[in-house]
Amino acid sequence: MSAASASSLLILQPGLKLNHFLKPLLVSLSQPSSSSSLLVNPARRFFVTKPPLLPAISRKHSSIVSAQSPSDNDRGSGGRSGALAPPPLVEDLQKIDVNPPKGTRDFPPEEMRLRNWLFHNFREVSRLFGFEEVDFPVLESEALFVRKAGEEIRDQLYCFEDRGNRRVALRPELTPSLARLVIQKGKSLSLPLKWFAVGQCWRYERMTRGRRREHYQWNMDIIGVPEVTAEAELISSIITFFKRIGITASDVGFKVSSRKVLQEVLMRYSVPEELFGKVCIIIDKIEKIPVDDIKKELKSAGVSAEAIEQLMQVLSIKSLTELEEILGGTGNAVADLKQLFSLADKFGYSEWIQFDASIVRGLAYYTGIVFEGFDREGKLRAICGGGRYDRLLSTFGGDDIPACGFGFGDAVIVELLKEKGLLPELSLQVENIVCALDPDLQGAAATVATILRGKGQSVDLVLENKPLKWVFKRAARINANRLILVGISEWQKGMVGVKILSSGEQHEIKLEQL
């Protein structure tokens, strides 16, 4: 086969340089016997190459469209490419580390009860606000999370190449997946969308109190509403959640600002728009690194000394009146913030929120109002955060739709509840414990359990022949309301013995009356 005909068989992906493909291809074609590095899929007229060639190619994908091109899908259709070696077989018996990987958690029953309680409250609040639940895969295309602005989240990505040579990542957040789904559904969606999700996210973080390598996030997002009413509604929902779990405005507050504040300053100094995301990311580090370093970074990003001075001045502002004096009345920043504070008053949560120009947030895609929930004692990291991201969809090749939302993690809030002594007591509770008093009556006990479960009652069925002392102990551990004893004489009469465990009251009742 000539090089020309070989190249005519190639289906090139967007952004892929021909010589990337042709060089190893020609080497392989000239050595047919060593063609193990080149697989031809005749049905699709497509060449599949093995690494190290493909990782370089797939990293070139700059949009979701290219990352999901048909050729990419085809690559995986032949099953495992063998690109990655399987894990080595462990021949000998090996003692394993029984701890979960660093930064991750097991959820034994008591932890799971707490998690379920938290998620139940997340879901209940979302329902109260009329939101619909959605979910996305934990594993996504890496391209979805790779933004140029230098965000910390990018360096924290758990990413790898799968066996089909695709660059994939464990999601560090839910927003890009939501944007992807909105683009995918396109015009079939009727706006506004009010969607919520509760999902696990992965970030290779430095571990501090409330920051882990895996955490769950509750997100609520409103897609299709350009007005600040959307942000006001979202903050209202978080406050509703706080109140439900016993947190008050003296425990927690929200710092609110708008990225339009920075935008207006940058425009005044003719800083190019493309720099906006990058500047925000640099400024967001203001509490973590010395101000001089921030200034240096801004300078090397191309921001003039005058603009840097004005930015620094604006960031220290804590009152809207002062902000208005500096920015003047031309832009939308002050107007948006004023409207938000006025709505907060109508919703009845003014005491929870305050303006703070230093709130910028560490994600590049925010374009308008941004907010963060913080503990007033200042002991913990941000409890939650969100904002408006009206231009995220176009960065993925879709049409922009105004959007805003927030993420609320499961870790900091638990720390706060512990601090405040507000962790709920969540013990296991099973309504009935059913026990056969004779091994021959195990089947009868099973019948009793089935009748009760059919009526919607929970039953812990004692599955072995155990002494009554053991059964009582277990009943206490599971907080059972009733102990149901299946004994021969009662069973022969179609009855069982019932003991109300709280009062000690005891009687025999017919099966139909259970």
Bind-site residues for L-histidine:
173-175, 203, 217, 221, 361, 365-366
Q: Is 317 in the site for ligand HAM (CB under 6 A)?
A: no
Q: How far is the CB of 392 from ligand HAM (least distance, A)?
A: 9
Identity of the residue, 408 or 491, whose beta carbon is nearer to ligand HAM in the bound complex: 408
Structure tokens at 368: 């308008």
DSSP string, 193-240: EEEEEEEEEE--PPPBTTB-SEEEEEEEEEES--STHHHHHHHHHHHH
Nearest C-alpha neighbor of 113 from the set 433, 472, 449, 414: 414
Identity of the residue, 322 or 415, whose beta carbon is nearer to ligand HAM in the bound complex: 415
Binding to ligand HAM by CB under 6 A, coded x per residue (else -) over 349-388, reads --------------x------------------xxxxx--
- Torsion, CA 343, CA 346, CA 351, CA 357, rounded to 10: 10
Binding residues: 173-175, 203, 217, 221, 361, 365-366
Give Cβ neighbours of residue 3 (< 8 Å, ≥ 6 apart).
Answer: 22, 26, 29
Give Cβ neighbours of residue 228 (< 8 Å, ≥ 6 apart).
Answer: 336, 339, 340, 343, 369
How many angstroms separate the first and last alpha carbons of the chain? 81
The structure tokens 């003692």 sit at 95
Q: Which of 166, 167, 194, 203 binds ligand HAM (CB under 6 A)?
A: 203
* DSSP single-letter state for residue 286: G
Q: How far apart are CA 459 and CA 432, in angstroms?
A: 5
Q: Is 460 in the site for ligand HAM (CB under 6 A)?
A: no
Identity of the residue, 189 or 478, whose beta carbon is nearer to ligand HAM in the bound complex: 189
Q: Which of 212, 255, 260, 278 binds ligand HAM (CB under 6 A)?
A: 212
Q: Which of 21, 46, 371, 408 binds ligand HAM (CB under 6 A)?
A: 408
Binding to ligand HAM by CB under 6 A, coded x per residue (else -) over 218-257, reads -x-x------------------------------------
Site for ligand HAM in 136-195 (CB under 6 A): 173, 175
Q: Is 277 in the site for ligand HAM (CB under 6 A)?
A: no
Distances (CA, A) of 223 to 195, 364, 482: 8, 18, 50
Identity of the residue, 298 or 382, whose beta carbon is nearer to ligand HAM in the bound complex: 382
Q: How far is the CB of 154 from ligand HAM (least distance, A)?
A: 12
Q: How far apart are CA 400 and CA 274, in angstroms?
A: 17
Identity of the residue, 50 or 285, whose beta carbon is nearer to ligand HAM in the bound complex: 285
Nearest C-alpha neighbor of 170 from the set 146, 139, 145: 139
**How many residues contact ligand HAM, by CB under 6 A?**
25
Interface residues with ligand HAM (CB under 6 A) are: 173, 175, 203, 205, 210-212, 215, 217, 219, 221, 363, 382-386, 389, 405-409, 411-412
